Every structure is written in structure tokens, then in C-alpha cells.
Amino acid sequence: MTDERSPDAPDTDDHSTGEDAGDEPPADDLEGEQELEELSLDEFHDACQQAGRPVLTAASVAQALELPHETASEALVGLTARGDIERLAVETDPVVWYPSELEDLTDRERVVVFPKRREIIVDRPEQFTRAQLSQFAHLADGNGEDGYRYVVRPEDIWQAPHDSFEGLARTMRQALGQRSNALEEWVESQWDRAHQFRLATHEDGYTVLEAKTPEVMGNVARQKLDEEHVHAPISETEDWVREGAEAAIKRILYEAGYPVQDHRDLEAGESLSIDLEVRLRDYQQTWVDRFAEAGEGVFVGPPGSGKTIAAMGAMAHVGGETLVLVPSRDLARQWAESIAEYTSLEPHQIGQYHGGRKEVRPVTIATYQIAGMDRHRSLFDDREWGLVVFDECQHVPSDVYRRSTHLQSRHRLGLSASPIREDDRQTEIFTLVGPPIGTDWEALFEAGFVAEPELEIRYVPWGDDEQQNAYVSADGREKYRIAAKNRGKIDDVRYLLSAHPDSKAIVFVDYLEQGRDLAAALDVPFLSGETPHHERRRLLEEFRRNERDLLIISRVGDEGIDLPTADLAIIASGLGGSRRQGTQRAGRTMRPAGGALVYVLATYGTREEDFARKQLQHLGRKGMTIREQTVDRSREADSGDE
């Protein structure tokens, strides 16, 4: 006779019997068991994690936690008595146990902690919980469908905005609604690591590396550093630092798992009274407050979240002369205009230093390339800056831009929508500039500060046999290039523009040839690096004033210029380049006004299709909804005839 159990019924172990499961001792019996260790809810969750389901038998708990069956049963009764879990007797199966939160899973916030994985799953999180979690955890998956997954990483603890571990522990308990001893022990160990080393200024003016104990100095710092970084030991816990080696020391020890506290007495720079003449949003004020506590940091948020305005709030807080570093002269001009518009500074107090202008003033906006050149460095080195701002700071680890980080200032601030790099050197951003400070994208979407665009990947067929045949015979990177320039995309761009006739649209391309072909087919300008600066400015201003409703733009639009708001973005090629590029391009429509659309075109059945899907996963984890559509050319032709 076969056992016709429901496929949803919990599994049982061979050695468990109905008698074992149904005759658990009452809760009162636990008082006489002196050697029984109390089972915590965290341990029950660990057992759930191992079993892969939230409903367990006593035998499953015993096996997962390596406890005697009787001990596990009695401990489960104790958890039930405290109200942490529930029990349910099933007719043909042992008693099963499950977390009490499952009773009202659908109508309230639920937080589940997995200490061993250092993960926190939150369903229906309240804004308060998100704010608390952001202080010590990283939002790894924010699509909301399967809950929000936070990961607690070492760097999150190293950069937590607290003066003591006790303060951080209180924040954790408020966010989790419980005390997780195992997680707190690990967090405390990381907190301790972050306070083992510090840079300080000696009374004679030079920099000293100080260690908390002789052991950590000898076993870590003096094993990792050499004569390029330090002159000689001063004591068992102090080393004399070579001038200019501070950034390298911070990076080396950070990579070794020991972030360095920077307590040097850097010059504050000339004072400069700055008033912000626009009110910060609550989350922007939080960014500025956290920057004020740390003295440095990187504002991380999606395009449209107001990082530039928040940076001006940081300038007002510092109240000192400020150097702003940007990737291009177009951004330098836009920064100068914005500072004049949103702060109390007069135009004569704001200078630009790049290939077109050479002005050093109390607030100076310069390009990274210029600031890194030897013949210009002295102009910036000789001035005592109160603050250096690194815009688009994901570039800072690159060899060209890195030299600008040697400029000394009392405070430094980075700005980035996506501080990730394909060479995995993103941790250097935070060692060279400061810890990440930001609000998760999903929270900004839900609060209405930034509109979440509708994003769709469209798999487009080949436009002609010639390109398809060339793709088949090509190798490596050439395959991707041919697929990206698929001439069939021109027809799909036409279709999308006709389907949204009232939208202001930007079409992005990676290749100049493709941009010229699209411009000729659609009879619109193509804005690229070859376009003179005055012509770029004219075209963008026409677009802003609604005198033009379509532009085709090359990579120059990713970061080098401040693009106007668009209702429709069509990415004809380019997302295969990097996750950061995908964020920048898709993010061009993220503004407070809603209804924006982003279409990503990828040639069907090619490497470009795989690249696009992979790169957009990064945006999906930030909370954006992504659809996929295979283009049927005949159907589109029919709809066009209508």
C-alpha cells in the first residue's frame, strides 16, 4: 500500500515516529532540565535555512543543529512558550514548527536574519527599518517580489556612522526587532578592526601611523608596508609616515582588512561663507549630516536624486574654499552655473580651470586631467582647500584620475550614481575618497522623489543578410560590435518613435558610424565627441526649451555632459560596455516627473543579447522593473499600416 501524502506535507526522518512527535513534554517539564541549552530564534532560522523551508519537524531541527532528538523537542516547546514559533499537529505526520511571523506574513513587516550568511531578508519594510538598515547593511536585491535582501559586509561596519559599537548595536536591534547574538559578535569584531589604526599629526608637523597594540603593528602594518611608505618606527605602536604616502597606506591596510582612521590635522583652508538657497530633501539632509559626522564620503544615488545639490549642502557645512573635479569642461560650466543659482556665492567667486578657461577662485571647478598634470598641480597644491569634491568619482581609481586624489584638503566628497568598476577596483574609491553614503534606489522610487522608468529589452532581428553572415564568421569582440551596429535597429527606432509621438527622446549609440546612419535616416543631429562645444551647448539648450524633441548622442552623453530630462530613452547600443554605463544611460530618464520609458535594443540570438541581459541585472537589483520583448517585424509593420 503506497503512502498518498500531500506533496506539501513536511518531510520526516526515518527514525522519527508519531509517538516521538506527539508526546513532547509540556513546557513545565523544562524547569527540571538543568543541562538544556535554550534554543534561540536565530538558531531556528539557521535550521530553516539548511532545510530550505520555514516549516520543520523536531527531527529536522535536531539534525540541522546536531542536537539529540529529545533535546530539540524540548527546546522547541520553550520557543513556543515565548511566542517565537508556532506548533501544528498533522494527522499522519509529526508535529511541525514554524516562525510565528508566518501567521500574519501578508499584512505586516517581517524581518528574518541569517547570521551565518550575514543576510537580512525584509518583507514589507517600513521606511524607518530601511533607514536603520542603511546604516550597517548593503541592499543587495531590491525588487520587492521576494522581499528585500540586505547583506552586512565588512565595509558596511567599518563605515557605520556611529561613535561607539554600543550605538551601532542599538541601531541593529531597532532595525531587526530582535537581538541576533551571532551577528552582533561578528559586527563587533569588524568594528574593532576598523579602530586598530589611525593616521595622526605629530607635534612636529609630520604624519604618524598609530596602532592600537604592538601586536597589530608588527603582524599587520610592518608586514604590509615598506620604506616607500614609512621612514622608521618611533615606538612599538608608531611609525613615521613618508610625505605623500598617506593614500597608499590607507589603501594597503584597507585591502588587508584594517581600514585606517584619518585624524590628521589638515589645514581647513580659507573660510568662505556659503548659504544654500534651496531646501534639501530629507534624504539629502541625511547625506549631508552623515558627511558632517565622518568628514568625508561618497554620495551614492540614482540620476535625478540631487547629488549635486546635496554636495552644495556639504560645501555650506564646511564653509571653506572648495575645489570641484569633473570629467569634462561641459560639466565644469554646468557646475559653475548651478553653484551661482543655488548658493549665495557671486559669479566672481566661482572659477573654472580647464582647456577653455584658467581661473583659480575660492570655489574652482577643474577637470581631472588638468588637476593631474604636473605643470598645473602647484596651482592647486599651494591653495589650502577646505573641501575637494570628486564628481563621477567611479573614475578615481584609474591611473589618469588617481593623481588628483593626492591633493590635500580637510574634507573630501565623491558623487556617483553607480560606484562600480568592471576591473573590480571599486573598493579603492572608498579608500581614496571616503565611505559610501546614500539611500537605496527603491526607497526613492517609492517616496516619489525619483520616478522609476519603465525599462524594456527588445531583441531585434537582423536588418540584412550581409551583417548576419559577417557575425557568423567573426570572432571575439568583433561579434559584439557587428551585432551592436545591426542596421535592423534603425527600423525599430523608427517604430518606437512613431509609437510615442509626443515624447522628447534621446537615442544613445556606442559607435560613430551607427550614430551617423541613424542621424541620416531620421534627419536629426548627432551629438558626439567630434561636435564642437558651442554646437553641443546649442543643441542641448534647444532640447531643454522644447524647440527640439529628438537627439542622437554617443558616449559623450554618459557622464561628460548634464543631459536634459527626456521622456523616452532608446539605447541602440552600448549596454554591453559596463554596468556603470547601463546605469548612466537608463538613468537619464530618472527625474521626479513620471511616465519615462527606456528601451534597450539588442540583436536577437547574439552575444549582445546576453550582454544586455547581464548588465541590466544590476539595475534590477536596485529596484527597477525590467521587461523583455522579442521584436516581430511583421507585426510592427502591420501596426504601422494602421
- Mean of pLDDT values over 437-464: 75
Predicted confidence band at 309 (pLDDT cuts at 50, 70, 90)? very high
In whole numbers, what is the pLDDT of the chain averaged over residues? 78
Q: Check if 18-103 and 282-439 are the same fold.
A: no
Q: Which residue has the higher pLDDT, 317 or 31?
A: 317
- What does the pLDDT average to over 331-351? 93
In the predicted model, what is the mean pLDDT of residues 162-191?
90
The fold adopted by the segment(s) 451-641 is: Rossmann fold (3.40.50)
C-beta separation of 247 from 224 below 8 A:
no
Q: Which of 40-49, 339-348, 416-425 has the highest mean pLDDT?
A: 339-348
* Three cell numbers written together for 433: 575618497
What is the per-residue pLDDT for 642? Answer: 44
At residue 322, the pLDDT reads: 93
H-helix segments, 25-86:
41-51, 58-65, 69-81
Half-sphere exposure of 626 (CA within 13 A, CB side): 21
The total number of residues written for the chain in this structure: 642
Mean pLDDT confidence for 134-158: 77
Q: What is the CATH number of domain 18-103?
A: 1.10.10.10
Per-residue pLDDT, 405? 61
Coil, strand or helix at 495: helix
The architecture (CATH level 2) of 282-439 comes to: 3-Layer(aba) Sandwich (3.40)
DSSP per residue, 561-623 = S-PPP-SEEEE-S-TTS-HHHHHHHHGGG-SSS---EEEEEEETTSHHHHHHHHHHHHHHHTT
> Given this model, what pLDDT does residue 280 score?
93
pLDDT of residue 165: 92
Listed range (196-205, 337-346, 368-377) with the worst mean pLDDT: 368-377
pLDDT in tens, 99-138: 665 544 445 678 889 998 899 988 877 767 877 887 888 8
Q: What is the pLDDT of residues 244-264, one digit of tens each?
A: 888 788 888 988 889 888 888
Q: Which sequence spans correspond to the domains of the chain? A: 18-103, 109-193, 197-263, 282-439, 451-641
| pLDDT tens track for 516-547 | 999 999 999 998 878 887 888 888 888 888 89
pTM of the model: 0.52
pLDDT of residue 491: 94
* Beta-carbon count within 10 A of 198 CB: 16
Alpha-carbon span 188 to 462, nearest angstrom? 57
Give me the pLDDT at residue 622, please. Answer: 57
Query: What SS3 string covers 377-393?
Result: HHHHHCCCEEEEEECCH
Q: Which residue has the higher pLDDT, 10 or 555?
A: 555
| Top-confidence residue, 405 or 434 | 434
Residue 381 to residues 103, 220, 373, 385, 429, Cα–Cα distance (Å): 63, 32, 12, 9, 21
pLDDT for 282: 86
